[in-house]
Amino acid sequence: MQHPHRNFLSACLAFGVSLIALNAHAFQTSAPPEPAKFPAEGKIKYVERDSILEFKALPNYSEPDWVSEKFEKTGKLPPLKDRLPDEPLVYKTGNMPDGTGVYGDTLRHVVGGRPEGWNYMAGQTQGWGGIDIALSECLTRTAPLFQVDAKDTEPLPNLAKSWEWSQDGHKLTMHLIKGAKWSDGVPFTAEDIMFYWEDGVIDPNVSPLGGGASPEAFGEGTTLTKIDDYTVEWTFKSAFPKQYLYTMAYPNFCPGPAHILKPQHPKYSKNTYNQFKNAFPPEYMNMPVMGAWAPVSYRPDDLIVLRRNPYYWKVDEKGQQLPYVDEIHYKLSTWADRDVQAVAGSGDFSNLEQPENFVAALKRAADENAPARLAFGPRLIGYNLQMNFSANGWGSPDEREQAIRELNRNQDFREAVTSAIDRKAVGDSLVKGPFTAIYPGGISSGTSFYDRNSTVYYPYDLEGAKAALAKIGLKDTDGDGFVNFPAGTAGGKNVKIVLLVNNTYTTDKSLAEGLVGQMAKLGLRVVLNSLDGNQRDAAHYGGRFDWLVRRNTTELASVVQNTEQLAPVGPRTSWNHRAPEGKQVDMMPFEKEMVDLVNRFIASQDNAERAALMKQYQKVYTQNLYTIGLTEYPGALIINKRFSNVPQGTPIFMFNWAEDAVMRERLWVATNKQGKYELFPQQLPGKPGDKGPIN
C-alpha cells in the first residue's frame, strides 16, 4: 500500500518544521511554520486607559468663529453652552500626540462601497470605509484601546459616561451623557437607547449593520430597562459579564435618532419592515447623528459630503468644541483607488490592506517629499475560506447545495481541501516578500491571545488530499478531471461548489481565483459567484453560498471584540453557520466545544483562565477546520502628512478599523498647511430631510 505521506517527514526535517501533533487523523499536522519577521514600523506608545478622556464641565467653551458669527449671533443656533451636555467628553491634552488643535480643512476619504441609505439600525450600509463610524456613536468605545497596554483594561466610556455593577454582578447600571443633543438639536435620552434595543436588537425582523447585534450577542436572557431619562439598567444571567461592555461598542450598540426612526417603524406605523429599512435612502440629507459630522450632500457614484455637527458633545481641554476638521469627503470610487489617491495626495487616508498595492505604495511613500505617511502594523489582516455548515435549511438549499453542505460537514472532506492548498503560493500570488504568512485559520497571529503551539496546521499535501477525497467516495467516474458525487447523491454528477466572493476587492478576487485553480488540481470543480459588496453581504447573511472567501472580522483580530462571533453561540452569531428562522443551529460536536469555550471565556474574569481557554479554542478550531485559513499579513495606515494628532502606531485593524482608532474628531491641520478642499465652507447641516446644508 502506498503511503500518501511518505515524503512528508523528510520534508519537515528539511524545512525545520516540528511535528507536534501525531493524531488519529490521516494527515500529519504540525504547528504552522514560523512566519517571516515583520516588525511593525509604527511603534505604539502605550498609555493608561484613564489618560485618554474624562467627562467634566469646563469654565468656557468655544467653536469656530464662523459658527458663532453666522449661526449663534443671528439666533439660528442656541448658545454653545446650551448645545453641549452638562459634562462634555473632554479629550486630555496629554494623550494628544500634537496637543490641542485649530479649526478648519477637510478630511478626504475614498471608498469602494456604496450607500444603501442611512438606516444603520435596520442593517443598511452607508458604504463602509468609516462613513458609518463617523456618523454613529456607541455606548462604549474600543478602537482607541490599541494603545492601552493593560490586561485588565475595559472599554472606554462614550454615550454611556459611567457604569456600576450590582454587588452580585447581575445588574449593570449605565449613566448616559446628560444634556447631549442629536445634530438637529433634539435631546439624546434613554428613549433612543430603549428604541434601539426593543425595536432593533430584540425585534427579530430588524438586524443592525454588521449583522452581529442579535440579542445573544449580549448574553441569553439579558434584559435592558429604562430607569430615567439618563439611566438604563442591564440584567444578565451570569455575574459580572464584563465582556459585554465590548459588545456595547461599535458596531453593536450605536443607536439612531428615535425621534426620526420610530415613526417609520412597523410597530408604530403602517410600514412593512422593508419600508422601514428603506425609509431613509441615500438622497435623504441631514440625517440626525450623534457623530462629529452629518451628511449634507450625496451624488451617486461620485461623492458624499459631511459637515460638522454643531451639537457635538466632545471638546478639548481648552473647551474647544470638536471636531477640528469642518468637512469630510467620501469619494465613491474603488478600494484600490483609495490606496492610489492616498499615496498621491489627492486623498487623505487609506487602510493599505490589499497586498497587490503594497510595493507601489511603499515605493511612493519612501520619497521624502511624499505627501502621505505610511506605517505598517501587526499581522492582523487574514483571509479564510468559509464553508456553509447549515444542513437544516439556512438559505433554503436545493439538492446540490444540500449535498455540498453535507460534504462541508465532513471532517475528511475539510482535511482534503485544506491539505490541497499551497499557502506559500497563495501568499506569493498576492505579493512577494516578508508580508504574507502561512495561516491555517483561527485567531490571528498578531493578537495577544495567539499561541502558535495550539495552532494545528495541515501542510500542503496534494496526493494525500486526493486520497482523502477517494476515501469518502468522491471519484471522477466520467473521466473529465473532476470528482463526481457517488451514484445516488445529486445524480452522481460532478461535485460543483459555488464560491461567493466580493468583487470590489482585488485581493478577494485573486484569492478566490487562486482557489479555483488549486481545487481543480485536487479534482474539485469550484465556480465563482462574484458579487459587489452589498449584494455579496445579502447572499452571505441570507445563507445563499456553498463556500465563501472572506476577510477576517474583528473577533479573530482582537478576540475580545465581537467575541460571540467566534462560534455559533446564537442562531445568528457565526459567519458560516447560522440557523434558519425558528430553528436552532445544527451544530457538530466540535462546534459545541467551541461554543462552550467561548461562553466560558465570556463569563471568566481570570486572565490566565481566559488565555488558556483561547488556546483550547484555537486547537479545536484549527484541528477541526471550522474555517480554512488562506493567508495573513500586516496592513499599513496611509495618512496625509498635514494631519496632526495621528496616534503613533495606529493599527489599521484591531478592535475596529483605523477610521475609529485614529479618533478623527481630534485630528487637526495647522493653519499654514490647510488645503482648499471644502465644498460647503461656513455651512452647517440643515433640517432632517432637507436638501442640503444651511448657510
List of residues contacting ligand GLA (CB under 6 A): 128-130, 335, 351, 353, 657, 659
CB contact at 8 A, 117 and 281 = yes
Closest CB to ligand GLA among residues 380, 598 = 380
CA-to-CA distance for 253 and 217, rounded, in angstroms?
A: 10
Min dist. Cβ of residue 478 to Ca ion (A) = 5
CA angle 402, 620, 550 (to 5 degrees): 55
Closest CB to ligand GLA among residues 586, 659 = 659
Min dist. Cβ of residue 551 to ligand GLA (A) = 8
Min dist. Cβ of residue 474 to Ca ion (A) = 10
Min dist. Cβ of residue 425 to Ca ion (A) = 25
Closest CB to Ca ion among residues 478, 609 = 478
183 interface partner picked from ligand GLA, Ca ion, none, CB below 5 to 8 A per type: none
**What is the DSSP secondary-structure string of 340-371?**
HHHHHTSS-EEEE--GGGHHHHHHHHHSTT-S
CB contact at 8 A, 421 and 616 = no
Q: Shortest CA distance to 385 belongs to which of 482, 508, 299?
A: 508
478 interface partner picked from Ca ion, ligand GLA, none, CB below 5 to 8 A per type: Ca ion
Selected range binding Ca ion among 156-164, 490-498, 592-600, 620-628, rule: CB under 5 A: 490-498
CB contact at 8 A, 45 and 305 = no
CB contact at 8 A, 687 and 184 = yes
- What is the layout of strands, in order, in the sheet containing 636-640? 349-352, 636-640, 372-376
552 interface partner picked from ligand GLA, Ca ion, none, CB below 5 to 8 A per type: none
Selected range binding Ca ion among 66-74, 228-236, 488-496, 634-642, rule: CB under 5 A: 488-496
Min dist. Cβ of residue 511 to ligand GLA (A) = 15
CA-to-CA distance for 491 and 251, rounded, in angstroms?
A: 44
494 interface partner picked from Ca ion, ligand GLA, none, CB below 5 to 8 A per type: Ca ion
657 interface partner picked from ligand GLA, Ca ion, none, CB below 5 to 8 A per type: ligand GLA
Min dist. Cβ of residue 89 to ligand GLA (A) = 22
Q: Binding to Ca ion by residue 520, rule CB under 5 A?
A: no
Total residues found in the chain within this entry: 695
In the list 341, 418, 494, 624, the residue contacting Ca ion (rule: CB under 5 A) is 494
Q: Which residues contact 429 (CB under 8 A, 6 or more apart)?
A: 510, 514
CA-to-CA distance for 251 and 178, rounded, in angstroms?
A: 22
Taking residue 133's Cβ as centre, other Cβ atoms within 10 Å add up to 23
Q: Which of residues 85-114 bind Ca ion (CB under 5 A)?
A: none
For residue 261, give Cα distances in angstroms to 64, 199, 264. 31, 10, 6
Per-residue x/- track, 362-391, Ca ion (CB under 5 A): ------------------------------
Longest dimension (CA), the chain: 91
Min dist. Cβ of residue 273 to Ca ion (A) = 44
Closest CB to Ca ion among residues 1, 487 = 487
Per-residue x/- track, 445-484, Ca ion (CB under 5 A): -------------------------------x-x-x-x-x
Closest CB to Ca ion among residues 190, 495 = 495
Q: Write the single-letter amino acid at 618.
A: Q
335 interface partner picked from Ca ion, ligand GLA, none, CB below 5 to 8 A per type: ligand GLA
> 112: which DSSP letter?
S
Closest CB to ligand GLA among residues 348, 659 = 659
Q: Which of residues 4-63 bind Ca ion (CB under 5 A)?
A: none
333 interface partner picked from ligand GLA, Ca ion, none, CB below 5 to 8 A per type: none
**What is the DSSP secondary-structure string of 247-295?**
HTSTTTS----HHHHGGGSGGGSS--HHHHHTSS-TT------SSSEEE
Min dist. Cβ of residue 497 to Ca ion (A) = 13
Cβ-in-10-Å burial (0-12, 13-18, 19+) of 300 comes to: exposed
CA angle 84, 90, 91 (to 5 degrees): 140
Size of the site for Ca ion (CB under 5 A): 6
412 interface partner picked from ligand GLA, Ca ion, none, CB below 5 to 8 A per type: none
Residue with cell 457623530: 291
CA-to-CA distance for 219 and 94, rounded, in angstroms?
A: 37
Q: Write the single-letter amino acid at 134.
A: A
Closest CB to Ca ion among residues 149, 476 = 476
Selected range binding Ca ion among 57-65, 158-166, 489-497, 663-671, rule: CB under 5 A: 489-497
482 interface partner picked from Ca ion, ligand GLA, none, CB below 5 to 8 A per type: Ca ion
Closest CB to ligand GLA among residues 164, 301 = 301
Phi, psi of 684, deg, nearest 5:
-130, 160
Closest CB to Ca ion among residues 406, 480 = 480
H or E segment at 530?
Answer: strand 525-531
Closest CB to Ca ion among residues 245, 469 = 469
480 interface partner picked from Ca ion, ligand GLA, none, CB below 5 to 8 A per type: Ca ion
Min dist. Cβ of residue 523 to Ca ion (A) = 8
For residue 68, give Cα distances in angstroms to 61, 625, 638. 11, 60, 34
Min dist. Cβ of residue 125 to ligand GLA (A) = 9
Closest CB to ligand GLA among residues 351, 436 = 351
**What is the DSSP secondary-structure string of 629-692?**
EEEEE--EEEEETTEE-PPTT--SBSSSBHHHHTTGGG-EE-GGG--S--SSTT-B--STTSSS
Residues paired with 653 in a beta bridge = 657
Residue with cell 495618512: 639
CB contact at 8 A, 670 and 686 = no
442 interface partner picked from ligand GLA, Ca ion, none, CB below 5 to 8 A per type: none
Q: Binding to Ca ion by residue 280, rule CB under 5 A?
A: no
Peptide bond into 323 cis (omega under 30): yes
690 interface partner picked from Ca ion, ligand GLA, none, CB below 5 to 8 A per type: none
Min dist. Cβ of residue 484 to Ca ion (A) = 5
Min dist. Cβ of residue 342 to ligand GLA (A) = 11
Min dist. Cβ of residue 652 to ligand GLA (A) = 7
Closest CB to ligand GLA among residues 354, 454 = 354
CA-to-CA distance for 362 and 341, rounded, in angstroms?
A: 13
For residue 479, give Cα distances in angstroms to 24, 475, 521, 524, 656. 32, 9, 14, 13, 49
Min dist. Cβ of residue 400 to Ca ion (A) = 14
Closest CB to Ca ion among residues 476, 513 = 476
351 interface partner picked from ligand GLA, Ca ion, none, CB below 5 to 8 A per type: ligand GLA
Min dist. Cβ of residue 136 to ligand GLA (A) = 11
Q: Binding to Ca ion by residue 399, rule CB under 5 A?
A: no
Min dist. Cβ of residue 542 to ligand GLA (A) = 20
Q: Shortest CA distance to 421 belongs to which of 460, 463, 465?
A: 460
130 interface partner picked from Ca ion, ligand GLA, none, CB below 5 to 8 A per type: ligand GLA
Q: Shortest CA distance to 457 belongs to which of 34, 5, 2?
A: 34
Q: Which residues contact 282 (CB under 8 A, 6 or more apart)?
A: 115, 116, 117, 118, 298, 300, 304
Q: Where does this chain bind Ca ion (CB under 5 A)? A: 476, 478, 480, 482, 484, 494
